[in-house]
Amino acid sequence: MIGLYSPGHSLLHRAPTLLKLAVLSAGVLWVGILGEPWQLLVALGIIAGLYPVAGVPPRAAWQQIGPILWILLIAVPIQALLSGWVPAALMAGRLLAAVALAALFTLTTTVTAVLEGFQRLLRPFDRWVDADRVGLLVAITLRCIPLVAEIVTEVLEARRARGTQGSLLALAVPVVVRSLYAADAIGEALVARGLDD
Amino acid sequence: MTARTLTVRDLAQIAIFAALIAALGVPGPLSLGVIAVPITLQTLGVMLAGAVLGARKGFFAVLLFLALTAAGLPLLAGGRGGLAWFTTSPSAGYLYGWLLGVLVIGYLTSRLLPKYPFWPALGATVLGGIVMIYAIGVPVTAFTLHLPIWGALVDASKFLPGDAIKAVVTVLVARQVHRAYPGLIPRRRAVTASSATSTPTSTATPTPARASDE
Amino acid sequence: MSTIVFDGVSHSFGDRSVLRDLSLTLTERRIGIVGANGSGKSTLVRLINGLITPDAGTVTVDGLLVAKNAREVRHRVGFIFTNPDNQIVMPTVEEDVAFSLRKRGLGAAEIAGRTQAALDRFGLSAHAAHPAHRLSGGQKQLLALAAVLVGEPQVVVADEPTTLLDARNSRRIADLFRAMTQQVIVVTHQLDLLEDFDRVICIEDGTVVADGAPAVAIDAYRALLA
Ligand SMILES: Nc1ncnc2c1ncn2[C@@H]1O[C@H](COP(=O)(O)OP(=O)(O)OP(=O)(O)O)[C@@H](O)[C@H]1O
Ligand SMILES: [Mg+2]
Across A27-41, A118-132, C168-182, C194-208, the highest mean pLDDT is recorded for C194-208
What average pLDDT does this structure show over A50-61? 88
Please count the residues of chain C: 226
pTM: 0.85
Alpha helices in chain C (DSSP H): 41-48, 70-76, 84-87, 93-99, 108-121, 137-149, 167-179, 214-225
Q: Using a CB–CB cutoff of 8 Å, tell me whether B28 touches chain A.
A: no
**Minimal Cα–Cα distance from C100 to chain A, Å?**
6
Q: Using a CB–CB cutoff of 8 Å, tell me whether A130 touches chain B.
A: yes
- The three-class DSSP label of residue B196 is helix
> Which bound ligand lies closest to the C-alpha atom of B212?
1
A155 touches A174 (CB < 8 A): yes
Chain B CB contacts of A137 under 8 Å are 1, 11, 14-15, 60, 64
Average pLDDT value for chain A: 85
CATH assignment of B9-185?
1.10.1760.20
Chain B CB contacts of C70 under 8 Å are 202-203
Q: Using a CB–CB cutoff of 8 Å, tell me whether B214 touches chain C.
A: yes
pLDDT at A139: 87
Cα B153 to middle of ligand 1, angstroms: 53
Closest residue to atom 22 of ligand 1, CA basis: C42
Please count the residues of chain B: 214
pLDDT at B2 over 70: no
pLDDT at B36: 42
What average pLDDT does this structure show over A162-183? 84
Give the DSSP letter string of B90-119.
Answer: TTHHHHHHHHHHHHHHHHHHHHHTTT--HH
C38 Cβ closer than 6 Å to some ligand 1 atom: yes
CB-based contact C51 B203, cutoff 8 Å:
yes
- Give the Cα separation of B125 and B119 in Å (integer): 10
pLDDT at B3 over 70: no
| Per-residue pLDDT reduced to its tens digit, C97-154 | 999 998 788 888 999 999 999 999 999 999 988 888 889 989 999 999 999 999 999 9
| Closest approach atom of ligand 1 to CA C43 | 18
| Per-residue pLDDT reduced to its tens digit, C185-198 | 999 999 988 989 99
What average pLDDT does this structure show over B176-193? 73
- Give the Cα separation of B168 and B172 in Å (integer): 6
The count of CB pairs under 8 A between chains A and B is 216
pLDDT at A197: 62
| Per-residue pLDDT reduced to its tens digit, C47-85 | 999 999 999 999 999 999 999 999 999 999 999 999 999
What percentage of chain A reaches a pLDDT higher than 90?
20
Pocket test for ligand 1, best of C19, C33, C43, C157 (most atoms within 8 A of CB): C43
| Per-residue pLDDT reduced to its tens digit, B129-153 | 999 999 999 999 898 888 889 988 9
Which residue from C6, C155, C114, C18 is spatially nearest to C67, judged by alpha carbons? C6
Cα C34 to middle of ligand 1, angstroms: 14
What average pLDDT does this structure show over B45-56? 96
Q: Using a CB–CB cutoff of 8 Å, tell me whether B20 touches chain A.
A: yes
Distances (CA, A) of A85 to A38, A76, B68, C179: 15, 8, 38, 78
Distances (CA, A) of C36 to B209, C12, C188, C196: 20, 18, 10, 21
- Give the Cα separation of C160 and C11 in Å (integer): 21
**Structural domain boundaries in chain B:** 9-185
pLDDT at B33: 44
pLDDT at A25: 82
- Give the Cα separation of B64 and B69 in Å (integer): 9
Distances (CA, A) of C200 to B3, B12, C48: 42, 35, 17
Cα B116 to middle of ligand 1, angstroms: 29
Q: Using a CB–CB cutoff of 8 Å, tell me whether C82 touches chain B.
A: yes
Residue among B202, B212, B214 minimizing CB distance to C70: B202
What confidence category does residue C10 fall into, taking pLDDT thresholds of 50, 70 and 90? very high
pLDDT at A5: 81
Per-residue DSSP letter, B51: I
- What residues of A are in the C interface, CB distance below 8 Å? 1, 139-140, 142-143, 146-147, 150, 182, 185-186, 188-194, 196-197
- CA B118 vs. chain centroid, Å, equals 18
pLDDT at B196 over 80: no
| Per-residue pLDDT reduced to its tens digit, C16-29 | 999 999 999 999 99
pLDDT at A1: 52
| Per-residue pLDDT reduced to its tens digit, A133-151 | 888 888 899 899 989 988 9
pLDDT at A132 over 90: no
- The three-class DSSP label of residue A161 is helix
pLDDT at B193: 40
pLDDT at A121 over 90: no
Please compute Rg for chain B using Cα positions.
18
What confidence category does residue B203 fall into, taking pLDDT thresholds of 50, 70 and 90? very low
Chain B CB contacts of C82 under 8 Å are 214
Across A16-30, B154-168, C33-47, the highest mean pLDDT is recorded for C33-47
